[in-house]
Amino acid sequence: MKKYLLCFISILMALFVTAGCGVEKKAEGPKVLKVGTEVTFPPFEFREKDSKEIAGFDMDLIRAIGKKLDMQVEILDMDFEALIPAVKRGNLNLVIAGMTITPDRQKIVDMSEPYFTSGLVLVVGKGNTAIQKPEDLKGKAVAVQIGTTGEGKAKQLPGEKVRGFKTNEEVFNALKEKTVEAIIIDEPVARYYLKKHHPDAMIAGASFEQEAYGIVMRRHGELTPKINKALAELKNSGEYDKIYEKWFGKETK
């Protein structure tokens, strides 16, 4: 009896194995790369007027990196000051938002190799010749975006009345409404806003505080070397140059 029972169990097991072999596994789709940004930083990231799609230099670059990694890129718009905390909590895989590489940021997150070099500028109302350099801002109201290096620079200068805003649109509106006398902002973004939306303002003096932008990731995470490798490959292949020229022309990077 015991012998027959063992045979019966063996037959059942064989049937289950055979049935299992006939079941096809569903093909897994590409992994999703959750990317945070803040969409009032054109031409790096902004919403298209008609489609509302998030576009810009950073967006083209991160989609090209995603393709290199065989990962689907999902873009999430957030307040600028919320981006790094979201990476630290694991809600985002990375951030690309024209974010400057700084020692303070590198203490809490990983930042990629630089992918863009910029500088800060002062923006004032047209005809204002009294402000030409940061030292001229003493005692004056200045608008900045919260969490940016522009805000950090403004707070370093003595006697300034710093007003922080969540978006660069609000920053420029404050200048237009004359509730501030100047803006401290990244030069490419300033030039975009002046050309597209604010012909009544101008850049005052020369740029200062040269900065390098980096992609933000969790500290000591496995993504960091992969992102750096993909970025290097895009630069070596010439694809980075094509993306750059699309948004900025053939200028010196």
Q: Tell me the per-residue pLDDT of 211-248, one tens digit each, with 9 for 90 and over.
A: 999 999 999 999 999 999 999 999 999 999 999 999 99
pLDDT band at 249 (very low <50, low <70, confident <90, very high): confident
SS3 118: strand
> What is d(CA 150, CA 145) in angstroms, rounded to the nearest whole number?
7
Instruction: Express each pLDDT in 142-161 by its tens digit.
Output: 999 999 999 999 999 887 79
pLDDT digits over 97-108, tens only? Answer: 999 999 999 999
Question: Is residue 91 one of the residues assigned to a domain?
Answer: yes
Q: Is residue 23 part of a domain?
A: no
State yes or no: pLDDT of 29 exceeds 50: no
Closest CA to 185 of 160, 159, 161, 211: 211
Can you name the residues that pair with 116 across neighbouring β-strands?
Answer: 213
- CATH code of residue 85: 3.40.190.10
Task: Quote the number of domains for the chain.
Answer: 2
Predicted confidence band of residue 30 (pLDDT cuts 50, 70, 90):
low
User: In a 3-state reduction of DSSP, which class is residue 183?
Assistant: strand
**One domain, residues 123 and 110:** no
Going by pLDDT thresholds of 50, 70 and 90, the confidence category of residue 50 is confident
Question: What pLDDT sits at residue 199?
Answer: 93
| 44 in any annotated domain | yes
Q: Do 111 and 220 lie in a common domain?
A: yes
Structural domain harbouring 227: 31-115+214-248
Q: Would the pLDDT of 5 be above 50?
A: no
Residues 99 and 221 in one domain: yes
Note whether 86 and 124 are same-domain residues. no
Same domain, 106 and 228: yes
Q: What is the share, in percent, of the chain residues with pLDDT greater than 90? A: 79
Q: Are residues 106 and 180 in the same domain?
A: no
DSSP symbol at 29: P
When the pLDDT of each residue in the chain is averaged and rounded to a whole number, the result is: 88
pLDDT at residue 114 in the model:
98
Domain presence at residue 155: yes
pLDDT on residue 51: 81
Read off the tokens for 86: 């979201």
The pTM assigned to this predicted structure is 0.79
pLDDT at 95 > cutoff 90 = yes
- Residue 25, in any domain of the structure: no
Specify the DSSP element, H or E, that contains 203.
strand 201-213
Q: Are residues 94 and 129 in the same domain?
A: no
**232 close to 115: Cβ distance less than 8 angstroms:** no
CA–CA separation, 69 and 88 (whole Å): 22
- Same domain assignment for residues 72 and 97: yes
Are 37 and 162 part of one and the same domain?
no
The reply to whether 10 falls in a domain is no
Q: Note whether 206 and 231 are same-domain residues.
A: no
